[in-house]
């Protein structure tokens, strides 16, 4: 694609659960270059970890790859942005950036016991979130108690502890560690009213506030990247899901934004905190001049549930994903699946269940059942949202699993709403490019629309699934109490 002379270009870095990605977009939202590098996730029971140094090197590699792809047009690059998984955290030395812990993924629940005796109502009031082990604070406390290197650095006053995004931005640019509001807000230590670390929450979790990076706005500026001889400001750092809501420009109040990645998330713009007792208040964007709040529902097991199924059957995850469209057409009566991969998120909030099917079935039948469970959990979240917000006009989907036509069509059928699938399924990257473009108005929406159709068997399956869930977890989850 030819690039107009003097067209500003934007480099976006997206660190996700399966890969680090780099893309370049122009001011009209066209993707001009891309590179991706797989990263390793280490899983054992409730522990889910990544290697901090590997993530840094992977981002440096893909950034240089896309830079080299631009050739003579490298000179038009004007700004870069970084989006990361929001609740990942780690510990490192302030003096030399040495990682002192693995990156503890948002899926990691090793420190759940630390939440039992805390004031959950206080935490929710201050943060807009539930006291949940997926967020950073309990993991931070665990590191401070259990990792000798972390204890030593703390005693030497040489410890930084905080969001993964703060560490990555600092390592990529060499600048001082600072924390953007979106990633800081997913620690349970950030006060959604004061927009800063909260003294009472830090004391509650035993995290010394001096070890946390200072909080700034998302567009504060996070240092300068060096791409060979080219110096490029890292202008924005934010969360992946927050950036994805900007995929087609400024998010609309009448649209439900669904991202289908390692987890699945549905977001609606709202203007009122605490609008529903079992959903999340999310910091979608906070710049120097504006902010947006979202009402959010979370499905912990999406791409990770497909990975779980692949392990159960000893097959490659890509094999399942490549066959899902075919299986969606072929499998008419899949089993029901209780999707507890990484714990059941909103609105049920049931942390310790065993993922299971209601009957024996083949791989193809189970794969469709897993896909349906993602759909059904999203639908349940959307129904709960409609208790406090008007029904949306449409649904916008992005993320890796959005490439499955069968899932998009089922979502349209079950919701009775048109589903817009972005032509650029990496919604996080394109949304971040929009934010880098200074929120320009010329940002064309590009998507395929799946129109709803009557699907009586799917509606019946959803009803049966709800009964199955209620009969199996109602005495242990928040929503049914």
pLDDT of residue 1: 46
pLDDT of residue 440: 56
- DSSP label of 82: E
Q: Report helix angle 456-473 to 363-385, nearest 10.
A: 80
Q: pLDDT tens digits, residue range 312-360?
A: 999 999 999 999 999 999 999 999 999 999 889 999 998 778 999 999 9
Cα(377)–Cα(365) distance, integer angstroms? 18
- Domain spans, the chain: 9-238, 249-302+345-423+451-473
Two domains, one topology: 9-238 and 249-302+345-423+451-473: yes
Structure tokens that stand for 262 in this block = 């390692």
DSSP readout, 289-357? Answer: S-EEEEEEEEES-SHHHHHHHHHHHT--HHHHHHHHHHHHHH-SS---EE--TT-B-TTT-B-S---EE
Q: pLDDT tens digits, residue range 48-78?
A: 999 999 999 999 999 999 999 999 999 999 9
| 8 A C-beta contact, residue 20 and residue 62 | yes
User: Which SS3 state, helix, strand or coil, does residue 182 take?
Assistant: helix
Cα(88)–Cα(106) distance, integer angstroms? 5
User: Which SS3 state, helix, strand or coil, does residue 79 take?
Assistant: strand
> What is the Cα 89 distance to its own chain's centre?
13
Cα(446)–Cα(452) distance, integer angstroms? 19
pLDDT of residue 351: 76
Residues of the chain with pLDDT under 70: 1-6, 439-441, 480-481
* CATH no. of 9-238: 3.30.420.40
Structure tokens that stand for 298 in this block = 């979370």
| 8 A C-beta contact, residue 308 and residue 301 | yes
Cα(8)–Cα(194) distance, integer angstroms? 35
pLDDT of residue 441: 58
The pairing of strands 230-239 and 255-260 is unpaired
Cα(261)–Cα(400) distance, integer angstroms? 6
- Domain 249-302+345-423+451-473 fold: Nucleotidyltransferase; domain 5 (3.30.420)
């Amino acid at each position: 694609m030819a690039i107009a002379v003097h067209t500003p270009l934007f480099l976006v870095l997206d660190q996700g659960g399966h890969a680090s990605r780099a893309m370049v977009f122009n001011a009209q939202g066209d993707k001009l270059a891309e590179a991706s590098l797989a990263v390793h996730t280490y899983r054992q029971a409730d522990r889910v970890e990544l290697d901090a140094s590997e993530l840094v090197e992977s981002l440096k590699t893909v950034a240089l790859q896309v830079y080299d792809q631009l050739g003579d047009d490298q000179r038009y690059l004007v700004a870069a942005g970084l989006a990361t998984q929001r609740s990942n955290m780690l510990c490192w030395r302030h003096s030399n950036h040495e990682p002192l812990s693995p990156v503890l993924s948002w899926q990691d629940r090793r420190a759940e016991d630390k939440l039992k005796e805390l004031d959950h109502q206080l935490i929710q009031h201050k943060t807009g979130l539930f006291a949940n082990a997926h967020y950073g604070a309990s993991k931070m406390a665990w590191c401070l108690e259990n990792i000798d290197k972390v204890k030593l650095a703390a005693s030497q006053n040489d410890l930084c502890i905080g969001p993964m995004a703060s560490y990555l931005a600092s390592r990529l640019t060499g600048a001082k560690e600072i924390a953007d509001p979106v990633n800081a807000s997913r620690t349970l230590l950030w006060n959604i009213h004061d927009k800063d670390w909260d003294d009472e929450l830090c004391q509650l979790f035993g995290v010394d506030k001096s070890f946390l990076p200072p909080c700034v706005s998302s567009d504060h500026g996070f240092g300068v990247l060096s791409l060979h001889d080219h110096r490029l400001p890292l202008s924005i750092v934010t969360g992946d899901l927050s950036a994805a809501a900007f995929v087609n420009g400024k998010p609309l109040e009448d649209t439900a934004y669904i991202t289908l990645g390692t987890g699945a998330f549905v977001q609606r713009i709202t203007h009122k905190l605490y609008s529903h007792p079992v959903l999340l208040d999310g910091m979608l964007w906070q710049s120097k001049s504006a902010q947006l709040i979202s009402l959010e529902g979370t499905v912990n097991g999406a791409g990770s549930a497909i990975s779980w199924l692949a392990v159960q059957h000893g097959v490659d995850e890509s094999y399942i994903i490549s066959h899902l469209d075919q299986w969606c057409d072929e499998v008419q009566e899949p089993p029901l699946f209780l999707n507890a991969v990484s714990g059941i998120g909103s609105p049920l909030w049931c942390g310790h269940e065993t993922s299971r099917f209601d009957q024996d079935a083949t791989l193809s039948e189970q794969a469709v059942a897993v896909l349906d469970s993602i759909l059904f959990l999203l639908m349940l979240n959307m129904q709960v949202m409609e208790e406090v917000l008007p029904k949306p006009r449409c649904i916008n989907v992005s993320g890796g699993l959005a490439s499955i036509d069968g899932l998009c069509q089922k979502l349209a059928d079950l919701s009775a709403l048109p589903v817009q699938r972005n032509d650029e399924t990496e919604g996080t990257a394109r949304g971040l490019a929009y934010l880098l473009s200074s929120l320009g108005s010329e940002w064309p929406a590009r998507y395929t629309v799946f129109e709803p159709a009557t699907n009586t068997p799917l509606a019946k399956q959803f009803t049966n699934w709800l009964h199955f869930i209620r009969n199996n977890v109602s005495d242990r989850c928040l929503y049914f109490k």
